[in-house]
Amino acid sequence: MLAGSKLMAMGMGIVFSFLVCLVFIMLAMSRLAMALQKPELEERPDGGLSVPQQDHPSARGDLVAVITAAVTRYRTTHN
């Protein structure tokens, strides 16, 4: 009985240690990805910085039009 408890405690400790290491590795990878994917900033007339407008989702009017047309066509053929 005592050997089984020791084995269980050792197994739980190993799994917990692995999960802690996994959390720190994921945090490091997330920070690395954020550092590599920073958007380029452009200077505004008032001296501040902003993200270029062509990358902004609301500037993609053609994409919105295509999605709207696809949804409309789907709704007319599947009703």
Please write the tens of the pLDDT for every residue from 1-46. Answer: 899 999 999 999 999 999 999 999 999 999 998 888 866 666 666 6
The pLDDT assigned to 61 comes to 75
Task: Check if the beta carbon of residue 40 is closer than 8 Å to that of residue 52.
Answer: yes
Asked whether 36 and 29 are in contact (CB, 8 A), the reply is no
**47 φ/ψ sector (left φ>0, alpha ψ -120 to 50, else beta):** left
Residues in the chain: 79
How big is the chain by its Cα radius of gyration, in Å?
Answer: 26
Which pLDDT does position 42 carry in this prediction?
A: 61
- Asked if residue 60 has pLDDT above 90, the reply is no
Given a cut of 60, is residue 53 above it in pLDDT? Answer: no
